[in-house]
Structure 1
């Protein structure tokens, strides 16, 4: 069963989401029309005397690369799920490329004195790659508030103690008490090693925390020396040095040592943005926070698989959950396009001129319906549009090659480009 369908009345007041079967009935009987394609939303054509409004709880599981969203009723029914994939890594890479091109141009033309000392950052400033995570999360919170009746918001306020990870022998009463001691390190290792055995790469089996360099041979408890292994590999390795254990597998040895030294990049991103996300979302609705340990305990107790949107459903106080949606909406942030009018190659020389957007009211990425009157491609087609300034365009139907036609043949715009790519999990 896919996600429940959002419904709004003629005044665009959000109503209770309906079952997909009920949504098809409303459309076939002419009682509703499609208001928005993603997320799929219907608008009623007739006035409702007694609106069916049942408040929902929006739960969010923020992450460095993927953020999970879930809408839960007061009875614990999960009616809508979504996974939002961020593009912070792409933003960082493009900023570095821009900086390299500017440095080359500066040195090619003439010497100019650097100006880095006369710029002051505002209080609470975050790098663009991190601020993007905050802004996309806020954008989807505001969208969901428009299309469904949300009573309150729960968000997981994750905090990874990197100092404790790097130095487990740190003293202090706060590190020596608690029933969830060691959870943070284990959860981080599961993410770092992709929930697979470090040596045999099996997944979906119980994993044990293992020292890459044994303690008896001088290995430490630092997180960079910890891995995950199944019981068979852990017993087989014992206190053998990893170079001796994997001497017949040099490629695997190289990858394990490289992965073990990866920095706590994702952890730092979560720590840097967690306070800002809570501050921004609290402006739109009543907000409650929960810990990552509580989320993990709820998910394990309910026997749910590891997914970001299911983690979101387990945030906060949960007694039971009934999953009514098994096809979450998968959303990938793609951006709305750059402002660069002159496209350059890797050396910084111009190769292409980009026209002004939009073109006759269309822009690249719009999902449209096209009626081609004649020719070998005659018929009605739906797909993403790529317009050109000469009045022609290309359309990319699902499962077919691109088709060329004129912009005048576009009969309907089904979904305007909004900086995201959508698909449903099979």
Structure 2
């Protein structure tokens, strides 16, 4: 599995990334120093001349989502484009719950101030025009924090952002065929497939199942000149789809009656758009921005035979062709943490709150994670592993410090 490290020269100018193994060789030969370990960043002891600095464009791609955001850095080379970084940002989902709890405390406190007259609309944040809900805004700011952090180590010449899940304009007005349209006539456009699933509320229209494998069925099959149109598609589970295959004409009227008059509700697509204007405005201040859609991303990923993941979707956003083999690289889990820490203990045996550590059990099992609590009396700690497992009251004597926390966790993804 390939992994790259970021490179700076003696004046901290950003150079093109190199292979991690090459970076460790430079460190061992005393030609560079390790600046950051997760992800790996080295600084050369020599100054690189301006004419020797590689200026090939580097694209930063953002596959924006509500729970996970895929990001990738792709270097546009003359011969073969090269992905140099990919990862998935895990967003916080507890903000609304914490705000509701805080609101309850505030209302309880105010309701007992009987001497104070009632006041309404006195909070400036709730009356401000164009206000973004904090639960949504914090996700956009987390993406910007990661972008700004990476830009300390690598140049970004262009930014690509996935705008919506499906392209509503293309769905209504029609779209130009993709390259594979001329070769694989039976493959359904991802833009249409997602639209059909959304219209049918992600439910099988024959048996009513929801939590199962869902497929989009041509009511009039393509072999009988059925069209690739939203009006000829219906959502079925895999078993119902198998039952009607070969007997489509017997079920056509019944299926057409089910979808007749149904409108596509774009609530999900519109919900994804919340906060996008803010994100786009902030990103444009950094580098030129290009927008794309989820349907185009999925079509391109399938066309290039790349495995689906948030980070792989981000790689293909820039339309720079890469192979599936190039995408087989280190995949980071990125966790921007709260700026305020609730720690009550500064350190225990040299270990601090949020330190990234390795714990080795007596039976040889190894866990990697970050410290979430410290207990000085018994010299114990709580850990949250990279897989999300919580370990409570583990002794600090078996800990090994891997890296000191610095606002954002970059964790290795375990398959």
1:81 aligns with 2:70: no
Instruction: Give the equivalent residue in structure 2 for 1:150.
Output: 156
Please point out which of 129, 133, 144 is paired with 2:135: 129
Deviation at 1:423, TM superposition (A): 2.9
Q: Which residue in 2 is equivalent to 1:286? A: 288
Shift of 1:60: 1.4
Equivalent pair of 2:87/2:331 in contact (CA under 8 Å): yes
**C-alpha separation between the residues in 2 aligned to 1:309 and 1:280?**
22
The answer to whether the Cα contact below 8 Å between 2:336 and 2:407 also exists between their aligned partners in 1 is no
Q: Is the 8 A contact 2:316 2:322 kept in 1?
A: no
Cα pair distance change 1:285/1:309, threshold 3 Å: same
- What is the 5 A alignment of 1:60-99? 60-74=62-76, 75-87=80-92, 89-99=93-103
The CA deviation at 1:359 is: 9.6
Distance change in 2, residues 1:322/1:48 (3 Å)? farther
Q: Which moved more, 1:277-286 or 1:38-47?
A: 38-47
| C-alpha distance in structure 2 between counterparts of 1:388 and 1:417, whole Å | 22
Question: Once superposed, what is the RMSD of the aligned Cα atoms?
Answer: 4.7
Change in 2 beyond 3 A, CA 1:201/1:413: closer
Could you tell me how far apart the structure 2 residues matched to 1:46 and 1:395 are? Answer: 43
**Is the aligned partner of 1:414 residue 2:410?**
no
User: Partner of 2:131: helix, strand, or coil?
Assistant: coil
- Could you say if the C-alpha distance between residues 193 and 425 of structure 1 is closer, same or farther in structure 2, counting changes exceeding 3 Å? farther
State the Cα distance separating 1:82 from its structure 2 match.
Answer: 0.8
TM-score (norm 1): 0.67
**What is the DSSP-based 3-state SS (H/G/I as helix, E as strand, rest coil) of the residue aligned with 1:106?**
helix
Preserved CA contact (<8 Å) 1:61 1:311 = yes
**Alignment correspondent of 1:267:** 269
* C-alpha contact (below 8 Å) 1:84/1:330 kept by paired residues: yes
Q: 1:201/1:397 Cα in 2 relative to 1: closer, same or farther (>3 Å)?
A: closer
SS at structure 2 position matched to 1:207: strand
SS at match of 2:274: helix
The alignment status of 1:30 with 2:33, answered yes or no, reads no
Task: Name which of structure 1's ranges 18-27 and 183-192 shifts more when overlaid on structure 2.
Answer: 183-192
- Are positions 1:229 and 2:237 aligned together? yes
Residue 194 of structure 2 is matched in structure 1 by: 187
Number of residue pairs aligned between Structure 1 and Structure 2: 361
The aligned counterpart of 1:106 is 110
Unaligned runs of 5+ in 1: 165-171, 212-221, 242-262, 340-353, 371-375
Shift of 1:329: 0.6
Distance 1:142 1:234, change over 3 A: farther
Contact 2:335 2:410 in 1 (8 A): yes
> Is structure 2 residue 197 aligned with structure 1 residue 208?
no
SS in 2 for 1:15: strand
CA contact (8 A) 1:36 1:415 kept: no
Contact kept, 8 Å, 1:83 with 1:329, in 2: the verdict is yes
Question: Residue 78 of structure 1 contacts residue 321 of structure 1 at CA under 8 Å; is this kept in 2?
Answer: no
Report the equivalent of 1:215: none
The reply on whether 1:364 has 2:361 as its aligned counterpart is: no
Taking the aligned partners of 1:279 and 1:315, their CA distance within structure 2 comes to: 19
* Structure 2: gaps of 5 or more residues: 178-187, 220-229, 255-264
Structure 1 residues 425 and 405: CA distance shift in structure 2, 3 A: closer
CA drift of 1:16 comes to 1.1
Contact 1:200/1:233 (8 A) holds in 2: no
What is the CA–CA distance in structure 1 between the aligned matches of 2:109 and 2:88, rounded to whole Å? 40
